[in-house]
Structure 1
Amino acid sequence: MSTSIVDIVGEILDRAPKARVVVVGYPQIIPATGTCPESPLGAGDYLFGRGVIEQFVEAQRDAAKEAGAEYADVWSATEGHDICGEEPWIAGVKPVRDATAYHPYAEEQQAVADLLEEAVSGPGA
C-alpha cells in the first residue's frame, strides 16, 4: 500500500515541484482496549480492526517520508478520542452530535486543521 502512496505523492511533487505536500494521517477510531455500544464490531474484532488502521497509518507515515512529503500525525492527536472514548471525536453508529456515523466530529477536524496550520507555518513556509 505504501508504494501506491509514494507514487501518488511523487506524482504531485513532479507536477508541482515547489509545492509543500502534507500527507494527513488517519485518526484513532477504534479503542486500544475495551468495547462500546457506539461500535457495531464484535468483541473479538476490535483489536483486528485497530490493527488494520494502525497498518494504514504506518504506511501513510512511511510513504510520506519516502516521497519527501511532510506528515500530519492525526493518530497521535486523536489518542483517547476514539468512538468509545469519554470525549469521542469520531461518531459511532448513532452520532450524539452533528456528524455522520463513523465520521469525525468538529473537534477532530479542528485538531487536523491545527496540525496543518502548524505544518505550513513552520520551517519551509
Structure 2
Amino acid sequence: MATTNRFGLRAALVGLALAVSGCATGAQSVDAPPTAPPLVFPPGSVYVAMGSSFAAGPGITTQVESAPQRCGRSNDNYPHQFSRLRQLLLIDVSCGGATTHNLLGPWNELPPQLDAVDAGTRLVTITIGGNDLGYIAGLFRASCAQQPCPDIPTPSETQYADVAARMDQIVAAIRSRAPEAHIVFVDYPKVLPPEGVCAAIPITEAQANVARDIARRLEEITAQVAARNGAYLLPASRISEGRDACAAEPWMNGARNPEPLDGVAYHIRYAGMEAIAKALDDLLPR
C-alpha cells in the first residue's frame, strides 16, 4: 500500500521488525515529557520529518526519487523506517546541509521545512544543529589528504545561544501550526569515540577533542530545548555509545568508509538509522 502526500513524497506502508540495544536513562530521558498531550496517531496519521543529513541519510541504500538530489534523502533513513513500522503517512523534508535557518526560512529553491507542517500533522521529528556549528564540516576539513589540515573552528558562545533560540522558535512554530502534533528531538549519534582516534578518523587528538566538545554542547542544547518546551527527546547520542566510527561494529562512518559503501563519510550508516527507528518506536506508545 502506498500513499501520496501533498509534497509528492511516498511512504511505503509495510511492516518491518528491527532490533536495538536499550535506550538511555537519566537526565536525557526518553520518557514522555510531563506536558505532552495524549498520544493518538493511528496508522495513516501524518508524520513530518525535518532536519539535516543525520535525518536524511545520504548514501544509505536508495535515495528518494522525488526529493532534491542535493538533499541525499534515503528511502531507509530513520523517518522512513519508523513510518513503515507504524504505517504513518510520511512527509520527509530532511536535507543534507540544512541548518536551523532552513527549517524556519527558505533555502535557495527549497521552502522552509516548517511549511510541511499543518493542522493535520500528528508527529514531527527534528535532527538539527550540527551544520549551524560547523560540526561535520570541521571534521571533513581536518581530514584533508595533505598535512597539516585546517583546525576545527570552535563555535562562540553566541553561536551556541543562537542555535538554542532558533530551536525554540522551531517548536513554537510547530505548535502554532499543528497544536495536536507530538514533537520529538532526535539528537546526533556519536561519530567519534570518547577518547583517542583511529585509522578511520585521520585527525589529531586535539582536533578530535574540539569536535567532541561541539557534539557535547549540541547534545546539551537539544536536551534543554526539548525539556523547556515539553517535547520528547530521543538521545541517539546515548544509544550509539560504543558504535562510533572506530568501533568494531560501527553505526557511523569515518573519513574512510568501510566496504561495501554504506552512507557517506562522517555520517550515519544503515544500522544506525535502523536503531534510531526502533528506539523511536519504543519511545512513542501506540
Normalising to structure 1: TM-score of the pair?
0.90
Give the equivalent residue in structure 2 for 1:80.
Answer: 242
- Conserved? CA contact 1:38–1:94, under 8 Å: yes
- Conserved? CA contact 1:38–1:93, under 8 Å: yes
Give the equivalent residue in structure 2 for 1:55.
Answer: 217
Give, as a single letter, the amino acid of the residue that structure 2 aligns with 1:56. L
How far is 1:61 from its partner? 1.0
How far is 1:94 from its partner? 2.0
- Conserved? CA contact 2:190–2:237, under 8 Å: yes
Residues 11-26 of structure 1: matches in 2 within 5 Å? 11-26=173-188
Higher relative contact order (CA 8 A, sep 6+): 1
Q: Which of 151, 166, 174 does residue 4 from structure 1 map onto?
A: 166
Give the equivalent residue in structure 2 for 1:111.
Answer: 275
Per-residue CA deviation, residues 75-108 of structure 1 (Å, 9 max, x unaligned), is 1100011111121110111211422111111111
Q: Find out whether 1:93 has 2:246 as its counterpart.
A: no
| Alpha-carbon separation, structure 1, partners of 2:172 and 2:192 | 31
Normalising to structure 2: TM-score of the pair?
0.41
| Alpha-carbon separation, structure 2, partners of 1:114 and 1:31 | 23
Give, as a single letter, the amino acid of the residue that structure 2 aligns with 1:22. V
Size of the aligned set, in residue pairs, is 122
| Alpha-carbon separation, structure 2, partners of 1:109 and 1:6 | 25
Q: Which of 208, 213, 217 does residue 46 from structure 1 map onto?
A: 208
Q: Which runs of 5+ in 2 are unaligned?
A: 1-162
Give the equivalent residue in structure 1 for 2:227.
Answer: 65
Give, as a single letter, the amino acid of the residue that structure 2 aligns with 1:37. A
Q: Secondary structure at the match of 2:182?
A: coil
State the 4+ residue runs in structure 1 displaced beyond 4 angstroms.
none
**Identity value in percent:** 29
- Conserved? CA contact 2:188–2:236, under 8 Å: yes
How far is 1:38 from its partner? 0.8
Q: Secondary structure at the match of 1:71?
A: strand
Larger proportion of helix:
1
| Alpha-carbon separation, structure 1, partners of 2:266 and 2:209 | 17
Q: Secondary structure at the match of 1:21?
A: strand
Q: Which runs of 5+ in 1 are unaligned?
A: none
- For the pair shown, the structure with the greater C-alpha radius of gyration is 2
Q: Secondary structure at the match of 2:185?
A: strand
